[in-house]
Structure 1
Amino acid sequence: MAGAADKAVAKPRLFEGRPARLKPLDPAEARRELRDVAEAAKEKNLPRLSALLSGRDAEAEFLAAVFDLSDFMRDCARRRPEMLDQLFDTAIDDRLAGIVAAVRGLPFGEGVTEKVLMTELRRLKLEAHFLIALDDLAGAAGADKSVRRLSDLADACTAAAIDFLLRDAHEAGKLKLPDPAKPGEGSGWIVLGMGKLGAHELNFSSDIDLVVFFEPEAPAILDPLEATDLFSRLTKRLVRILQDRTEAGYVFRTDLRLRPDPGSTPLAIPVEAALNYYEARGQNWERAAMIKARPVAGDIAAGGRFLKELQPYVWRKYMDFAAIADVHSIKRQIHAHKGHGEIAVRGHNVKLGRGGIREIEFFVQTQQLIAGGRFPELRGRQTVPMLAELAKHRWITAEARDALTAQYWFLRRVEHAIQMVADEQVHTLPETDEGLDRIGRMLGYDGCEDFSAAFRASLQEVESHYAALFESAPELSSGVGNLVFTGDVDDPDTLQTLKRLGFERASDICRVIRSWHFGRYRATRSAEARERLTELTPALLQAFGKTRRADEALLRFDAFLAGLPAGIQLFSLLQSNPALLKLLATIMSAAPALAAIITRRPHVFDGLLDPALLAELPSRDYLAGRLASFVASATTHEEVLDRLRIFASEQKFLIGVRLLAGAIDAARAGKAFSDLADLTIGAALDAVIAEFAIRHGHVPGGRVAILGMGKLGSRELTAGSDVDLILLYDHDQDAEESDGDKPLAPSHYYARMTQRLIAAVSAQTAEGVLYELDLRLRPSGNKGPVATHIDAFRKYQRNDAWTWEHMALVRARPVAGDTGFCAEVEAEVEAVLALPRKPAKVLKEAADMRRLIEEEKPPRDMWDIKLIPGGLIDLEFIAQCAVLTGNAEGDRVTGTAEVLARLSPAFADAQTRQELCDADALYAALTQMIRLCLTGPFERKEAPPGLIDLLMGATDLPDIGVLEAHVKETAQRVRSHFGRLLRAGGT
């Protein structure tokens, strides 16, 4: 009877074909979540849906899996089960068409205010998002259909907002529209969709890139002189309508940074000024961006005219070799990592990582720029159709076309699955088995292993074709040219070759290379080593020549060579592994700090020889295992400490290389640098305790814990960070002295032991310094004892500490020492942070302290990211004040980014939280890369060009001018939030 009843249950039209068989992570939890949605359907009087969800047929099982795998889908269905119920009567295609029509009709409805428009756009967008995801997960819609639907939705929402704003300006007498029923026509307001929006290729949680221009002479414009201000104000309102997070969510995050010179231009630019800019100052990345440009709203005809005028700029009929070379350097952060080890799946960036979506898109765009001027068929906006055209014109093979097309859509499905979990704009796969299992199951795989194998195979296929495509791209010349370094006189043709390759001081370079061939270094003394180096030299010069700071790069390599004990293995490896040679060139040109490390300690370079380097995440367990095996054979105290220094220097370097190569992001690098510090300082503490006990014994009941503060505590260390610590101890109450040959009173014992630890970690030896230590955050600062009894710490923090000391305690984390004692210390820190406080007092004192810092330590320039108004300190203060005033939700976390993500809605709305988190991510990406590559401050005009390219890659922005504008806008936004959130402090 039950089976018959189930068969009688009505089926939504979504399931006219069989739904995909998805497996939940937890079947019992999935059934519970399904019952919750069924209950919500029952409460809303939706009997058909309630009956379906209460059954156990394939449709119910599919929905149970969806709700278990995607928090976003489950929450949508709970809140609005009617979105599912209407599918009993309406096909998804029809409903989506109805939503788009409803969106486009909104500006023309009676009583539609800006607030009503924002609410309705969010409501309709959420429903469309839910249905698009459902159809995708059911296997009814492929990724190609999903990206088109998402793009059509974004077009409609953007057009609705713009039509509303134009009509509003018309009614206010700011414009005179020729036809208010068709607001865009004759308005002169040009809104171009760029990137994935322009190409109709939006991802599930994508932002939209817009560029805004206007025609001053358009019929609707009353005063051309006021038009820039008018359309800039309207554009600001457009962003607010689409982007601001309200109780109903948001529509689309909106990015305007692809406009000409975004740091100094208004949000809306006159057409003539834009055309002059592109003709006189436009760069190749801007030409590439314009390939996908499409009028999406406003004055569509005017947008078409503008793009037509721009065609000669985008599509050049003839390109010289220098222009082609520049095209190939548009996105230098994307490398063909050919042959450089396995590709990691955990934490892999599907968009920007090796073998990812961007590699396919980038190749298509570069070939379009090179050939599109002569072949109009290659001017299309969409990636896959252009792969077909490239194959048709024999720029790529049919095999490459088919493989890249298949993998492009596979990777887009993976990207969508990642974003469908929680409707977040992320492109990185989870780092845990459970997280990967979730993504795999959303895509129809049995679990983590099956998905990982398929994903890795996809990346490898893309990577192999990507590398081959560039190998078969037009050569810049028939050969390298003369490279003769014999005798004492420079060969004239060789000087010309070196200059053509990018070297400015060609004669000096000749002299350096001659010294290699004379065998003056240990690494080049053997005939075989010199022979290998001679064979390698052309590739070496080409690699360094492409760095745009060729002379400096080669001279750094020369200094590295001078310190090498032997060279045959390295020269052979570089010759057979172009990716490693390219990485070495990047280090030498873009990262003087890393170059200095391998020059002083060439042994750290050995770690690069590990083919699994870029595939292995530097997790705590990974580092702990490597450390244990590295120090295991040390027999003396000094040898242990030296091995710790060697291990730390090598692992800092290798973590940095992973960041440089894009194998890990800034957040992961911060955690890895912090885990490395935890482990090595902990090992140093253990060694010091053991050595100290030989002479002085142990204090009865003695226990030690190291409290990591600052960036160590928040797990945000950079390559150049010093380490803030507090050493705490405890012992039996009646302990009077230690039990060794030379007994010491407990306070003296731990003070002396701490001094030994400071020396062990900070003293300069032949193997360098482990870490520079800073103990000034201990109770009473430099005036207090270097080691603090837990009772004294407890009393000080509860009775005498200043607000700023409690703010610092927000980031405190026990990092080493006795496990039980560390747990007690953590409990004490949590208790101190939970003490009742007057929020107004905390906020005022924090605001006062921020003002004092600005007066005493003003920022050097806009790149002083820590100190600029709206910089890192502002973010840290917001997070710390939130914790101290009880405005951070969930369990205690120490990371600034983690706290910002948990700000309570009463303290900061969703929009503010998102903007603060985005700012923190931007600052972390910049800070990690700059501190990795430079030993001093970042000087914009003096920075190595290679470092600029790395910063572009780390932030996914096309140009340093765009990045500068973005940093300024971000800092202004953060400072505004800082002032509002700490307004009780009078800011």
Structure 2
Amino acid sequence: MKAGLASKAKDQVWFDGPVPEMIPLDRERAVGEIAEIADAARHDDLSRLAALLDGKGRLKAFLEGVFDLSVFMRDCARRRPEILENLFDQSVAQRLSAILAEITDTVGAEDVSEKSLMAALRRLKLEAHFLIALDDLAGQAEAAVTVRRLSDLADACTSAAVDFLLREAHQQGKLTLPDPANPTEGSGWIILGMGKLGAHELNFSSDIDLVVFFEPDAPAVTDPLDAADLFARLTRRLVRILQDRTENGYVFRTDLRLRPDPGSTPLAIPVQAALLYYEGRGQNWERAAMIKARPVAGDLKAGAAFLKELQPYVWRKYMDFAAIADVHSIKRQIHAHKGHGEIAVKGHNVKLGRGGIREIEFFVQTQQLIAGGRFPELRGRETVPMLAQLAARGWITAEACDALTRQYWFLRRVEHAIQMVADEQTHTLPEDDEGLERIAHMLAFADKDAFAAEFRAALHQVERHYAALFETAPELSAGVGNLVFTGDVDDPDTLQTLHKLGFQRPSDICRVIRSWHFGRYRATQSAEARERLTELTPALLEAFGKTHRADEALMRFDEFLAGLPAGIQLFSLLQSNPALLRLLATIMGTAPRLATIVTRRPHVFDGLLDPALLSELPDRDYLAARLEAFLDPAKTYEDILDRLRIFAAEQKFLIGVRLLAGAIDAGRAGKAFSDLADLTIGAALDAVIDEFAVRHGKVKGGKVAILGMGKLGSRELTAGSDVDLILLYDHDPDAEESDGEKPLAPSHYYARLTQRLIAAVSAPTAEGVLYELDLRLRPSGNKGPVATHIESFRRYQRENAWTWEHMALTRARAVAGDAGFCKSVEGDVSAIIALPRDAAKVAKEAADMRKMIEEEKPPRDLWDIKLIPGGLIDLEFIAQVAVLTHCSSGGPNGTGTAEILAKLDPGFADPQTRQELVDAYMLYLDLTQMIRLCLTGPFEREDMPPGLADLLLRATDLPDFGVLEAHLKETSRKVRADFQALLKPRKRS
């Protein structure tokens, strides 16, 4: 430690160098937080730590910053200040080495039990996590050191659990270990670390990906016929030891989904069966995954032998250029291209987003798959050393190697900072200014603007190299054979070429393309437009061929062309911008809903020409400004309604494109679709009120509020959602009728006004429908008046409403109308929800209602995500019951389901259950948003556009559709079990 520390003690060896300045967000708050930790230190008689924290100096200032910026670090230090006290006797590096030794020693103790092992692993892992983060934030450990330390910790914890389970199985006579002192030797139990664990590149809050195999003929196996059940049980217990949340937390979340065919195979697979699978049915994504596979625990010798035997499958001897396209599809990223506009920093996914960590990893892995068969030195697991090897062999330039190495470690540091805030498995930068400022300070930037500039530059640099890799890849289909569309007769070679490109009806395609050359469409009438289109045609055919439904995609494009007013600008743009062409092909081949919008309203495509499209977030302010500008020229009531329809259609399309392109995630898409509905329905209401007043005047003191219900209320709308509304009104008590030319009594006035609003929003015009409205959630449903006086609403909700109506009210949110009245209505809703209730009665009625829905409307199949047992309805009911029974600090007034589930009280749901529910909801949200975006009807497993499968895999970050279905099935099973446990009859305080 340098001499600049005023509080330096002789035995203080915390770090190997000076600590940086770490600026808190709120210095006054930081002083209070450090004082609390000092009090905790004094309470535990940790005098050296208390003196340090009470004094002054650079180290104390650094800790103030750390504990203010990281909730995880602050809470850990407050609960266990002895972790910091230990650093007066050992440096961070020394203490981490000692922790790894303690983990090994723990499992060797004679009195160790599963419970004591779980407690010890959690205690030691928490301390190690804290110290690794502290050293990283102090600038003492480079990112490369941090990821290695995290990986070594995971290795040690996994090995300890495996050793314990093997020794126990030996003691119980289920195995006969050759050497119980070294239980893994000859055990035949193979634990492979995959992904970042296998590559020694684990991130701070990472899951660990494991694949488990066993050797039935291993020396330790007493009965080969029983081996499958035995090792499956041991694997299940291994996951429980590492993953289950206890009062001490958890060790590592564990993921076994990368094993062969996870939907139908046991947790542990015999080696021979695995080899047969990989050699006969293995896919390119599994080859890519096996690059990073490493024996991390269990029988290391057997694990190494298994990987050696698998080498011919992973490392092909020939130049496997055909694998590029398949491996690239794992990335599922549409916009691998140079500079299609700026990249948004707020909310950017550092791992999966444009220019992110995944692009660097795939940049390396594609080259490894191509060349690793002939060059063994390219078979390494770690990303950065492989960049150096690729440069050394001339596969990439030295400039690309240096740039990607530098940005890889920078992005890993950003990823760690995001996760160190609260020890959450997230890769997404905060969406608010304070959150971004927090990350900037943790990374030692002066402010968020300085960080954003460097971060954006890093993403662009990565994106440029990643795009160049695929731009220079050899053509897989275009350029093979003829593409001749002149004359009246189909050219045989052209038919063959089209078939190779993926078209099933090549003769029909020839006919369509020939029709373009006849100039029958406005877009192709000029000679210059036809010339540009002719030049573009090979690229068009290749792009549509890759959608896997090439014929349908090209036919939709033909419809799109037919509606275009002009073509030269578009054809030139597509020719110079391959990424935009790929996006158009994706829409036409994968997303019938968006394709229908484009073909019926070609002008919406103009929005794609905005270079800032993918970097600007479609939040409420963004949409409100554009709506105001779009409505400004409108002169008549009918013009306003038409313009609202045009605006909503275009913005739904552009929000959908952002989701399709990965520029926004499903949660943000739901908020954007909801904000769009709020604004356009609000504008329609204003227009209706003004138009209605021309004839009927106004009611004295009259005011209106629209209560958004269902997915609109919770800001979870999808591209195809109906809108649930309740219209509430109030007026002066002495108002008897409106003051217009044709006066109406207040109740009649607002009923007519509501009917006019329904027509304004739902009636089809030349520009279509704005939204389909559903008013059945109003008091008394369809039997009640379409507009409800606020007093009637209050009285009904307090005296007559059913439990399900109060459950629906937990998602209610005022979305339009008089601002003051809206605030008052939301206050009424909060008060109704805050009423005391019999928790057991609410839970029982919710469970009964769920059972009735299941009986009356059973799910079609696994993909009926809303209705399946353990599906969306189960999660929504859990959230609604929790809000009604005051068991969640989330809600009411339109709070999203995910937020309510994330804030369930510990007495209602333990942390592990809470996390399971949130993870399940996010999975369902990702899937339903993408499915509703792309399809106009139900999801048909056997008849989905293949490109949609790619999008669903990208959205869920899973490598294979079988893996996704297995994950969906397992998730729904867990949710149903949690639903039954949480809503079972019981007494709650």
Q: TM-score range by the shorter chain?
A: over 0.9
* 1:376-391 → structure 2 map (5 Å cutoff): 376-391=376-391
Matched position secondary structure for 2:729: strand
| 1:909 counterpart residue number | 910
AA at the equivalent of 2:927: L
AA at the equivalent of 2:641: L
Deviation of 1:985 after TM superposition, in Å, equals 7.9
Asked if the contact 2:708/2:724 (under 8 Å) is kept, the reply is yes
CA distance in 1, matches of 2:493, 2:136: 61
Deviation of 1:302 after TM superposition, in Å, equals 1.0
Asked if the contact 1:14/1:135 (under 8 Å) is kept, the reply is no
Asked if the contact 1:334/1:953 (under 8 Å) is kept, the reply is no
Query: Alpha-carbon deviations, 1:49-97, whole Å to 9, x = none?
Result: 1121122311111111111111111111111111111111101111111
* 1:308-319 → structure 2 map (5 Å cutoff): 308-319=308-319
| 1:947 counterpart residue number | 948
| 1:454 counterpart residue number | 454
| 1:885 counterpart residue number | 885
AA at the equivalent of 1:899: I
Matched position secondary structure for 1:201: coil
CA distance in 1, matches of 2:87, 2:847: 54
CA distance in 2, matches of 1:74, 1:871: 37
Asked if the contact 1:331/1:949 (under 8 Å) is kept, the reply is no
Deviation of 1:328 after TM superposition, in Å, equals 3.5
Deviation of 1:492 after TM superposition, in Å, equals 2.3
AA at the equivalent of 1:931: R
| 1:578 counterpart residue number | 578
| 2:965 counterpart residue number | 964
Alignment: residue pair count? 984
Deviation of 1:4 after TM superposition, in Å, equals 11
Unaligned runs of 5+ in 2: none
AA at the equivalent of 1:126: L
CA distance in 1, matches of 2:776, 2:4: 75
Asked if the contact 1:882/1:888 (under 8 Å) is kept, the reply is yes
| 1:176 counterpart residue number | 176
AA at the equivalent of 1:894: T
CA distance in 2, matches of 1:368, 1:890: 47
| 2:48 counterpart residue number | 48
| 2:137 counterpart residue number | 137
Deviation of 1:623 after TM superposition, in Å, equals 0.6
Matched position secondary structure for 1:330: helix
Matched position secondary structure for 1:928: helix
Deviation of 1:319 after TM superposition, in Å, equals 4.8
Q: Which region of structure 1 is more displaced relative to structure 2, 243-252 or 481-490?
A: 481-490
Query: Alpha-carbon deviations, 1:242-273, whole Å to 9, x = none?
Result: 11111111110000000010001111111111
AA at the equivalent of 2:87: L
Asked if the contact 1:331/1:953 (under 8 Å) is kept, the reply is yes
CA distance in 2, matches of 1:908, 1:169: 33
CA distance in 2, matches of 1:708, 1:45: 56
Structure 1 residues 11 and 739: alpha-carbon distance in aligned structure 2, compared to 1, 3 A threshold: farther
CA distance in 2, matches of 1:478, 1:683: 49
CA distance in 2, matches of 1:272, 1:8: 60
CA distance in 2, matches of 1:33, 1:839: 37
CA distance in 1, matches of 2:396, 2:502: 29
CA distance in 1, matches of 2:143, 2:816: 48
Asked if the contact 1:814/1:825 (under 8 Å) is kept, the reply is yes
Deviation of 1:891 after TM superposition, in Å, equals 5.9
AA at the equivalent of 1:157: C
Query: Alpha-carbon deviations, 1:493-548, whole Å to 9, x = none?
Result: 22222222222222211111111111011111111111111111111112112222
Query: Alpha-carbon deviations, 1:656-708, whole Å to 9, x = none?
Result: 00000000000000000001001110111111011101111111111110000
Structure 2 residue 776 is the aligned partner of structure 1 residue 776: yes
* 1:247-286 → structure 2 map (5 Å cutoff): 247-286=247-286
Asked if the contact 1:841/1:985 (under 8 Å) is kept, the reply is no
Asked if the contact 1:69/1:438 (under 8 Å) is kept, the reply is yes
| 2:692 counterpart residue number | 692
| 2:193 counterpart residue number | 193
Structure 1 residues 815 and 324: alpha-carbon distance in aligned structure 2, compared to 1, 3 A threshold: closer
CA distance in 2, matches of 1:60, 1:429: 28
Q: Which region of structure 1 is more displaced relative to structure 2, 453-462 or 828-837?
A: 828-837
CA distance in 2, matches of 1:780, 1:4: 74
Q: Which region of structure 1 is more displaced relative to structure 2, 177-186 or 128-137?
A: 177-186
CA distance in 1, matches of 2:338, 2:234: 48
Asked if the contact 1:845/1:985 (under 8 Å) is kept, the reply is no
* 1:217-232 → structure 2 map (5 Å cutoff): 217-232=217-232
Matched position secondary structure for 1:708: strand
CA distance in 2, matches of 1:293, 1:933: 35
Asked if the contact 2:720/2:932 (under 8 Å) is kept, the reply is yes
Deviation of 1:576 after TM superposition, in Å, equals 1.2
Asked if the contact 1:339/1:579 (under 8 Å) is kept, the reply is no
Asked if the contact 1:52/1:60 (under 8 Å) is kept, the reply is yes
| 1:485 counterpart residue number | 485
AA at the equivalent of 1:595: A
TM-score calculated relative to the size of structure 2: 0.98
CA distance in 2, matches of 1:568, 1:116: 73
| 1:810 counterpart residue number | 810
Query: Alpha-carbon deviations, 1:828-863, whole Å to 9, x = none?
Result: 111111111111111111111111011000000000
Matched position secondary structure for 2:209: strand
Query: Alpha-carbon deviations, 1:427-457, whole Å to 9, x = none?
Result: 0111111111111111010111000000000
AA at the equivalent of 1:980: A
CA distance in 2, matches of 1:890, 1:611: 38
CA distance in 1, matches of 2:14, 2:622: 46
| 2:654 counterpart residue number | 654
Structure 1 residues 7 and 954: alpha-carbon distance in aligned structure 2, compared to 1, 3 A threshold: closer
Identity of aligned residues (%): 77
Deviation of 1:478 after TM superposition, in Å, equals 8.7
Structure 1 residues 474 and 535: alpha-carbon distance in aligned structure 2, compared to 1, 3 A threshold: closer
Matched position secondary structure for 2:212: strand
CA distance in 1, matches of 2:354, 2:394: 25
Structure 1 residues 452 and 324: alpha-carbon distance in aligned structure 2, compared to 1, 3 A threshold: closer
CA distance in 2, matches of 1:749, 1:308: 81
Matched position secondary structure for 1:983: coil
| 1:617 counterpart residue number | 617
AA at the equivalent of 2:33: E
Structure 2 residue 374 is the aligned partner of structure 1 residue 374: yes
| 1:57 counterpart residue number | 57
AA at the equivalent of 1:977: D
AA at the equivalent of 2:78: R
Structure 2 residue 916 is the aligned partner of structure 1 residue 921: no
CA distance in 1, matches of 2:256, 2:138: 35
Asked if the contact 1:844/1:985 (under 8 Å) is kept, the reply is no
CA distance in 2, matches of 1:315, 1:156: 29
Asked if the contact 1:847/1:985 (under 8 Å) is kept, the reply is no
| 1:668 counterpart residue number | 668
CA distance in 1, matches of 2:953, 2:10: 53
Structure 2 residue 702 is the aligned partner of structure 1 residue 705: no
TM-score calculated relative to the size of structure 1: 0.98
Deviation of 1:28 after TM superposition, in Å, equals 1.5
AA at the equivalent of 2:260: P
CA distance in 2, matches of 1:906, 1:969: 25
CA distance in 1, matches of 2:477, 2:569: 30
Asked if the contact 2:803/2:842 (under 8 Å) is kept, the reply is yes
Asked if the contact 1:143/1:412 (under 8 Å) is kept, the reply is yes
Task: List structure 1 runs of 4+ shifted beyond 6 angstroms.
Answer: none
Unaligned runs of 5+ in 1: none
CA distance in 1, matches of 2:640, 2:325: 50
| 1:97 counterpart residue number | 97
CA distance in 1, matches of 2:957, 2:349: 12
Query: Alpha-carbon deviations, 1:347-403, whole Å to 9, x = none?
Result: 110000000000010111111111111111111101001111111111100100000
Q: Which region of structure 1 is more displaced relative to structure 2, 340-349 or 495-504?
A: 495-504
CA distance in 1, matches of 2:612, 2:480: 32
Matched position secondary structure for 2:936: coil
| 1:934 counterpart residue number | 935
Q: Which region of structure 1 is more displaced relative to structure 2, 309-318 or 421-430?
A: 309-318
Matched position secondary structure for 1:881: helix
| 2:209 counterpart residue number | 209
- How large is the RMSD of aligned CA atoms in angstroms? 1.5
| 1:600 counterpart residue number | 600
